[in-house]
Amino acid sequence: LLALKNAAAGAYEHLNEAMAQWIGRLREDNIEKTDAQIFEPDFAKLLRSADVAAIAHGAPLNAEHKFEYRGERHEFGATRMLVGEDGSPQRDLCVIWHNLSTERQKEAQLKAALQQLEQQQRSLEQMRLDAQDRQMRDVITGMHTRAHFDEQLAREADLSTREQRQFALVTIELDPLRPEVLALGAAARQRVVEQLGRVLRSNTRAMDASGRLTGERFAILLSGVGLATAHTRMEGLRRQCATHIVAHEG
């Protein structure tokens, strides 16, 4: 949108077709008219004030205008510059308008699209980590699989060798189940193993590791812990397991 005004009087001398269409009048109907004769008083006053500021500034001046016109909310940027010879009483004010609403809308759409993309990337990464974690954990107990536990044990052994630090490896095996438990079938035996895995996982530190070696054999790796401390901790855990009640179908 482009318009050319008489700098002194503020009357339009020229405007392009796009500007005329936006105003909503034929281009020739706006020639030699001021903003006060075309727009509502408040908007006309805003435009004249911006024109006067640009004329006083001398150099090209940018401004943003937010206003209502013909029942719609608008947001425009305007560049105003004087044209003509310095000191001439016939100098004109050239005003170039560009619609910020469209630009801001595109920016908002782009920002929303980027946020959606970032969210999808985070979701995919979380899915990848979850899938990786499921591969490293026993389905029933939630403990590490034998292969992953062996990897952690190898790392702990290497760390112990390099830093002369202790660690403890504890193996645990379930006692043979009583006949009345065996009579309940495989679901009951699985329930016992599941509950044991939960107890072992909840009683180990984040730096420790627990794994299921075989069907009813388990292991716990205690990082930075000596034999005496490991014995005390595991004896307490053994007592907890021995007194733990497993509920199965009531």
pLDDT tens series, the chain, 250 aa: 999 999 888 999 999 998 888 888 888 888 999 999 988 888 889 899 999 999 888 889 999 888 888 888 888 889 999 988 766 667 899 999 988 887 888 888 999 999 999 999 998 888 887 776 667 788 888 888 888 899 999 999 998 999 988 999 999 998 888 898 888 888 888 888 888 888 888 888 888 888 998 888 999 999 999 999 999 999 999 999 888 888 888 8
Cα 135 from Cα 151, distance rounded (Å): 14
Interstrand relation of 2-6 and 12-15 (parallel, antiparallel or unpaired): antiparallel
Give the model's pLDDT for residue 90.
72
Cα 197 from Cα 152, distance rounded (Å): 18
3-state secondary structure of 135: helix
Cα 240 from Cα 75, distance rounded (Å): 70
3-state secondary structure of 249: coil
The two structure tokens encoding residue 40: 């509502």
The two structure tokens encoding residue 23: 């105003």
Determine how many CB atoms are found less than 10 A away from the CB of residue 187: 9
Global pTM? Answer: 0.46
Cα 98 from Cα 78, distance rounded (Å): 6
3-state secondary structure of 175: coil
Instruction: State the first-to-last Cα distance of the chain, in angstroms, to the nearest integer.
Output: 79
Answer whether 124's CB lies under 8 Å from 191's CB.
no
CA angle 202, 204, 209 (to 5 degrees): 115
3-state secondary structure of 167: strand
Give the model's pLDDT for residue 133.
67
Give the model's pLDDT for residue 30.
87
Answer whether 61's CB lies under 8 Å from 81's CB.
yes
